[in-house]
Chains A and B, each alone.
Chain A
Amino acid sequence: MNSPIRRLSAIAAALFFCLLVSSSWIQFAAAKKINDLPDNRRTLLASYNRERGSILVGGEAIARSVATDGELKWDRRYPMAQLYSHVTGYYSYVYGAGGGIEGAENELLSGRSDKLFYRRVSDLLTGKDPVGASLELTINPAAQTAADRGLGTQRGAVVALDPKTGAILAMVSHPAYDPAELSSHDIGAVEKAWPRLLKDEGDPLINRSIAGDLYPPGSTFKLVTAAAALESGTYTQNSTVPGPATLQLPGVAAPLANHDRAPCGPNDKTTLIHALEISCNTAFASLGMQLGAEALREQAGKFGFGQTLTVPMRATASSVPANMNEPNTAQAAIGQYDVRTTPLQMAMVAAAIGNGGEVMKPYLVRRVLGSQLQTIDEATPERLSEAVSTSTARQLTTMMKDVVTSGTGTAAQIAGVDVAGKTGTAQHAKGAAPHAWFVSFAPAADPKVAVAVVVEDGGNAGSEASGGAVAGPIAKSVMEAVLNS
């Protein structure tokens, strides 16, 4: 019986060998993957053992960790509460890190990032308590406050960019919420706050400036159509274009009309520059059909439509539908039909025009700082694409200046500064008041700031709203805040 016993003992050894392999797999090979699983309570608890880095704006912390005596050794505080809710996001024991920089840069803030490897090793050797990295943001506090005040109780979003670098100067989404409600160590209160915020019909947890349901851009999209026309080479700002009171679309019963149901110029004709100034629907709709769906899509793509950006939060890609027929193309050319965009994308369109046609990649983190606030990493501006030529950009700037000096955007005028802008009043549902849009940059010749503002359902003005009247003043105050600081 000895040989089967020996063979059985070999089988036993093989069984144990399986166990050694499987435990090595879990504790070594797959350990990082398992540790990074979203609902891993141990990783989350471990992150409370280490001081989490601060999030800084203009030298002040908008999120910081304070030592406590509880089981969770650090408490996350948000001194400005609602003002930065969609920038910081939340850091919750129950629901994890999310909603903004807290989620997108969790690895850096918690100190787990590979970028901090050498620092971790030196901390280990010197016996210092390891600390997460702090992040200095590009936000301009004055612009952020102006945007927040401007929106007030209205729903909507504001994004301001530095056109030359892509740095995000303001990012506001209303309604906001207080991240402290989710970061509290009072688990019961947090578990009550979360479903309340989720169910709130204002969707306060959604950052409307980069995500959410996506807005129709309305007439602000005429900038893209105008850009496509100028880039085609057959048009200049002074080209004559048709501008009747209504435009019959092939195969569609209801004609497309101007908002005042009047022609845009004598003999149902107008110039491109005047069409943009008064936001002439029929002119851009026929221009869109003339250029074709593909030209529109291509131009939009050059401005960044169709790209999912990380700023470092994930920004939903804006879109122009493919395979549009003629009437759809006409609608799309004036920012209706199924064209969908984020305020960030429209700010990028304005910024690109102001920046001589170059689209800069938007970013929110200026510097990564170590525990002694020494710089570990610094953002370098990156070019995303060239949307239009310099001459097209120059012509579009002139056209947008006209919009503000004598067109639909006079509300955004700033004394002593040339402002270039475009209004939008986007229909989005039958019977609902239109979304009010305004995109602009200033100073027109050498822009320091580009802004996109959207106010949902016309805001306080309701169905009487127009982009210029409702969103224009908000854009103006944000631009002023940047120019004065």
Chain B
Amino acid sequence: MSVVTSLRPRRGRNVELLLLLFAVAIITLAYATVEASAHGAWPANLATQVGGVLAIAVVFHLVLRWTASYADPLLLPIATLLNGLGLVMIHRLDIAKGNELGEGMALRQLTWSALGVAIAIGVLLWLRDHRTLRRYTFLAGTAGVVLLLLPLFPFIGREINGARIWIGLGPFSFQPGEIAKIVLAVFFAGYLVRTRDVLSIAGPRVLGMQFPRGRDLGPILLMWAVSLAVLFWQKDLGSALLFFGLFVAMLYVATERVGWIAIGLLLAAGGAVIAFRLFGHVQTRVLLWLHTFSPEAVAQSDQLAKGLMGMASGGLLGTGLGQGRPYITYFAESDFIIASFGEELGLVGLMAILILYVLLAERGFRIAVGVRDGFGKLLAAGLAFSLTLQCFVVVGGVTRVIPLTGLTMPFLSSGGSSLLANWTLVALLLRISDQARQPVLDTADSGPIPAAVGGR
């Protein structure tokens, strides 16, 4: 543990406020550009609309000042900027369909964003110490499994575009997998903190790598089976990859054994082969991935081809917001929103957005390093890595690094469940970061630490 200096610790709240204003300014500019290119004039009520967004952001900021004054100052501005840019692009696509603000997807997205922020604030108010979550480890595990299985139940499960990952309640549809991602991260963190000592007992040495004992393979095999089940019954390649990858990464962090990663990669490769052999939809995805522009692939789906054509037409500098034709690609507002940005903001704009995600994820890892308890470390690292993995699966799918799978881009994509989940994720990271960046003396004053596990 580090020695506390006599310097007054930097809380970073003023930096955060400044960055927030900057983020809202960028969103405003983007929104005004879209409106100007669609209607030839800036919106009349621009001040009110921007004021509303700014108010939401500032309220969040004030809550942080009050309940988590040491929280990382970059997380909120980045999340706000991404959420706002997504809104602008969705609104821009609404206009292309002839919908004005208030009648299209943008309004719904705005509502969900506000709800997401409210829930995030709620999490921060309710959860004053992230270690409290350890108590709910097995509740979280059960909830995660139930959430994953919900879409398979009759009556509430819905299959949309070939993937059974939705539940419907009346007019609302919801993707419980997004929430499951967070709940499972909590479960993995709690579970691995307890079992890490056992799981890191050295087993056989193969090729210079220390492997775990055979009897400890149970959990990873179970997780592998669950991922394959998700793939098989829900036809959801992306989620299967995400959950399994998350578990293996957290297992590695908990045990510090590279052998687990090797086993994970082997199992993933095996799963991929099995999936390719057994499932027609996986074969189609691979065909679309490897031979995107071939007539056979285009006959199946020209979505990926159209997305790539959109990105290519954007080139280095893009067509300008509102000037391109992202609406030619299907799901330009959700799965392919990154291609829409590539088209209109160019390679430069796309890279800037990707760098925002890099910052978000790397801040997460930094929080994991900084926080003192094992549970917090595992949870922060897990959340940061799940964000990374999700970005990789989505953008990698759109840019042909890997086969295309159906996941949403955090904060950008249209979709309520995704927004709620990712704002909750940011709230958890903020809460953990508050402790990570807090001087040690402060935590000592704040009472006994429940079952703290020291970091190495």
Q: Does A associate with B in a complex?
A: yes
Q: Does A12 contact B (CB under 8 A)?
A: yes
In the complex, how many angstroms separate the beta carbon of A66 from the nearest chain B beta carbon? 23
Residues 1-44 of A, flagged 1 when their CB comes within 8 A of B and 0 if not, give 11111101101110110111011111110111111010111110
Q: Does B104 contact A (CB under 8 A)?
A: no
Interface size class of B (residues with CB under 8 A): 35 or more
Residues 289-301 of B, flagged 1 when their CB comes within 8 A of A and 0 if not, give 0000100001000
Nearest residue, chain B, Cβ from A7: B252
Q: Within the assembled complex, what's the spacing in Å between the Cα atoms of A24 and B314?
A: 11
Q: Within the assembled complex, what's the spacing in Å between the Cα atoms of A12 and B361?
A: 8
- Give the secondary structure class of B's interface: helix
Q: Does B403 contact A (CB under 8 A)?
A: no
For chain B, residues 366 to 392, give those with C-beta under 8 angstroms from any C-beta of chain A: 366, 368-369, 374, 377-378, 381, 384-385, 388-389, 391-392
- Give the secondary structure class of A's interface: helix
> Chain A residues with Cβ under 8 A from B328's Cβ?
41-42
Q: How many of chain A's residues have a CB under 8 angstroms from any CB in B?
A: 37
Q: Does B410 contact A (CB under 8 A)?
A: no
> Which of B254, B314, B358, B456 contacts A13 (CB under 8 A)?
B358
Q: Within the assembled complex, what's the spacing in Å between the Cα atoms of A110 and B293?
A: 24
> Chain A residues with Cβ under 8 A from B342's Cβ?
23, 26-27
Nearest residue, chain B, Cβ from A33: B312
For chain B, residues 25 to 71, give those with C-beta under 8 angstroms from any C-beta of chain A: none
Say yes or no: A23 contacts B350, CB within 8 Å: yes
Say yes or no: B385 contacts A31, CB within 8 Å: no
Nearest residue, chain B, Cβ from A38: B293
Nearest residue, chain A, Cβ from B260: A4
> Chain B residues with Cβ under 8 A from A22's Cβ?
395-396, 399-401
> Chain A residues with Cβ under 8 A from B312's Cβ?
26-27, 30-35
In the complex, how many angstroms separate the beta carbon of A411 from the nearest chain B beta carbon? 49
In the complex, how many angstroms separate the beta carbon of B194 from the nearest chain A beta carbon? 14
Q: Within the assembled complex, what's the spacing in Å between the Cα atoms of A46 and B377?
A: 51
Residues 343-355 of B, flagged 1 when their CB comes within 8 A of A and 0 if not, give 0001100110010
Say yes or no: B399 contacts A26, CB within 8 Å: yes
Q: Within the assembled complex, what's the spacing in Å between the Cα atoms of A138 and B325?
A: 39
Q: Does A45 contact B (CB under 8 A)?
A: yes
Residues 355-397 of A, flagged 1 when their CB comes within 8 A of B and 0 if not, give 0000000000000000000000000000000000000000000
Nearest residue, chain B, Cβ from A12: B388
> Chain B residues with Cβ under 8 A from A37's Cβ?
293, 309
Q: Within the assembled complex, what's the spacing in Å between the Cα atoms of A6 and B347?
A: 29
Say yes or no: A20 contacts B310, CB within 8 Å: no
Say yes or no: A19 contacts B395, CB within 8 Å: yes
Say yes or no: B401 contacts A19, CB within 8 Å: yes
Nearest residue, chain A, Cβ from B252: A4
Q: Within the assembled complex, what's the spacing in Å between the Cα atoms of A3 and B354?
A: 25
Q: Within the assembled complex, what's the spacing in Å between the Cα atoms of A32 and B293?
A: 15
Q: Within the assembled complex, what's the spacing in Å between the Cα atoms of A22 and B389?
A: 16
Nearest residue, chain B, Cβ from A19: B395
Q: Does B249 contact A (CB under 8 A)?
A: yes
Q: Within the assembled complex, what's the spacing in Å between the Cα atoms of A26 and B365?
A: 30
Q: Does B180 contact A (CB under 8 A)?
A: no
> Chain B residues with Cβ under 8 A from A9's Cβ?
361-362, 365-366, 384
Q: Does B357 contact A (CB under 8 A)?
A: yes
Known pairs A15-B388, A26-B311, A30-B312; A1 contacts B455 (CB<8 A): yes
Known pairs A8-B252, A27-B342; A2 contacts B325 (CB<8 A): no
Known pairs A9-B384, A23-B354, A42-B328; A1 contacts B456 (CB<8 A): yes
Taking A3-B456, A18-B392 as known contacts, 4 extra A-B pairs with beta carbons closer than 8 A to each other, sorted by chain A number, are: A23-B350, A26-B312, A28-B316, A43-B309
What 10 A-B pairs have minimum CB-CB distances, sorted nearest first?
A34-B312, A9-B365, A22-B399, A27-B347, A12-B388, A31-B312, A15-B392, A42-B313, A4-B253, A19-B395
